[in-house]
Structure 1
Amino acid sequence: MNREDFTLCDYKLSLFRAEKADSPLIIFNQFSDEGEAAFLDLQKENYKDFHFLAIGNLNWERDLSPWPAPALGKEGDDFTGGGEKYLDCILSEILPLAKEKINGVPEFIGIAGYSLAGLFALYALYNTDVFTRVASMSGSLWFPGIKEFCKENAMKILPEKLYLSIGEKESKTRHPILKTMQENTEDLLKHFKSMGIETTYEVNPGNHFQDVNLRCAEGILELLQ
């Protein structure tokens, strides 16, 4: 396994280089190690060779939220809306360095993430044309205003492939915001399909915290098909 770990802008980066030149590059924002674990599982199954960049040590509520929003509960932190600034860091510093370290020119560059990182992956489409394939696994599409934002704004590029997933029990909650997740996801699914985007949607067993690594692997695999 050709792996290199480094730090940039206080983020911890793990780059797994493919053996084959010009292989696809997948960017994955992770909470702990769910992206890395999914990547290693895919490698064990000898799936298509690809470069994988896992980004960690994120301030979840700051870096991945598109705009400010209140915390979901008394013990949570407010979302401070640093998504645009963090995306700029990816585009101006992290991605150029990663491309210097890999062999050849990526066949395509995709972005993927779970939960709030899945929301960020979708948000990125409206701010850059760099990512041509996107996977949002159990993406936080309950986030206030995101459905309206996606419908009222134009993407910088229509992705070649878009993957959405959700756990079947994620919206079965009394929380007035979280309970909108499946409704919002399926509403946006229809919207994206109406735009002619090749979109795959999967409803997985369990709640938000079940089979995270497996769900991530399935989303990444879909981008590589």
Structure 2
Amino acid sequence: MTAQTMLIGNRPCRIYGEAHAEYLLLQMTGKHELQGMESEATTIAQSAHRFLFAAIPVESWNDELSPWEAPAVWGKESFGCNAADTLRFLTEQVIPTLKQQYPLPENVKIILGGYSLAGLFALWASTQTDLFYGVAAASPSVWFPGWMEFEQQYPMQTQRVYLSLGDKEECTKNTVMAVVGNNIRTLHSQLTARGVDCTLKWNSGGHFKDAGLRTAKAFRWAMEESR
């Protein structure tokens, strides 16, 4: 599946899919993910649904996707607090531009997804607005300090949530990140108890295995599955 490149703001966004789509899929992406984006889009396209998929690049992964500041958990790079600016860019520039250019129906179902910290960003964004029909969070960083308490206080406002994790991700000596397994199980249970259409899928391997495939599966479930 071939991408078109569209400059939105100052960001070269990769656009896949078609106009007049039933679903608008949005994913914040780092430079490390862009080389696999075409394969991911091709896998998503195995869905029977018509979609427009936008991969939106971020320059500073740890700053632009973090909802609040947190100390470094590996290496020396700490986490910033610019997720609110990123969400504002999505709602005020990306979504209106795509609706106008392609053109999308007014009631298009918007699914925000991502991998790792971008998955956490998608979950967090849905606590801030009811704009998103679904969230496709593949191996999301639900170990992020304060996240579980925050979501209890400000519950997600989306109808459908896909969660996944690699079965080796919680087997780490890093004590901050080791809680990821318990946190994602708890989050799934809490969302299900609230009546959210939520699934939790376990993948083989650690955090860096099959990231594009895992994310594609998340988007496909959010489009295809229903109660």
The amino acid of 1:41's aligned partner reads T
Q: Structure 2 matches for 1:65-104, cutoff 5 A? A: 65-73=66-74, 75-104=75-104
Judge conservation of contact 1:35–1:216 (CA < 8 Å) in 2: no
Using a 3 Å threshold, how does the CA distance of structure 1 residues 15 and 128 change in structure 2: closer, same or farther? same
Judge conservation of contact 1:10–1:57 (CA < 8 Å) in 2: no
Deviation at 1:95, TM superposition (A): 1.3
Distance in 1 (CA, whole Å) between partners of 2:102 and 2:8 is 17
Distance in 2 (CA, whole Å) between partners of 1:131 and 1:113 is 14
Instruction: Tell me whether 77-86 or 22-31 shows the greater mean CA deviation.
Output: 22-31
Q: For residue 60 of structure 1, what is the aligned residue in structure 2?
A: 61
Q: For residue 134 of structure 2, what is the aligned residue in structure 1?
A: 133
Q: For residue 177 of structure 1, what is the aligned residue in structure 2?
A: 176
Unaligned runs of 5+ residues in structure 2 are: none
Q: Structure 2 matches for 1:7-156, cutoff 5 A? A: 7-18=7-18, 21-31=20-30, 32-33=33-34, 34-43=36-45, 45=46, 47-73=48-74, 75-105=75-105, 107-155=108-156
Judge conservation of contact 2:29–2:55 (CA < 8 Å) in 1: yes
Aligned-residue identity in percent: 29
Unaligned runs of 5+ residues in structure 1 are: none
Tell me the secondary structure at the aligned position of residue 6 of structure 1.
strand
Instruction: Tell me whether 186-195 or 6-15 shows the greater mean CA deviation.
Output: 6-15
Tell me the secondary structure at the aligned position of residue 70 of structure 1.
coil
Judge conservation of contact 1:15–1:98 (CA < 8 Å) in 2: no
Distance in 2 (CA, whole Å) between partners of 1:42 and 1:122 is 20
Distance in 2 (CA, whole Å) between partners of 1:222 and 1:181 is 22
Deviation at 1:154, TM superposition (A): 3.3
Residue correspondences, number: 220
Tell me the secondary structure at the aligned position of residue 25 of structure 1.
strand
Distance in 1 (CA, whole Å) between partners of 2:113 and 2:120 is 9
Deviation at 1:138, TM superposition (A): 0.1
Deviation at 1:36, TM superposition (A): 4.0
Deviation at 1:23, TM superposition (A): 2.0
Distance in 2 (CA, whole Å) between partners of 1:195 and 1:35 is 34
Runs of at least 4 residues of structure 1 off by over 3 A?
Answer: none
Distance in 2 (CA, whole Å) between partners of 1:35 and 1:161 is 23
Tell me the secondary structure at the aligned position of residue 67 of structure 2.
coil
Give the TM-score of the pair, scaled to structure 1.
0.91
Judge conservation of contact 1:87–1:124 (CA < 8 Å) in 2: yes
The amino acid of 1:37's aligned partner reads S
Using a 3 Å threshold, how does the CA distance of structure 1 residues 183 and 35 change in structure 2: closer, same or farther? farther
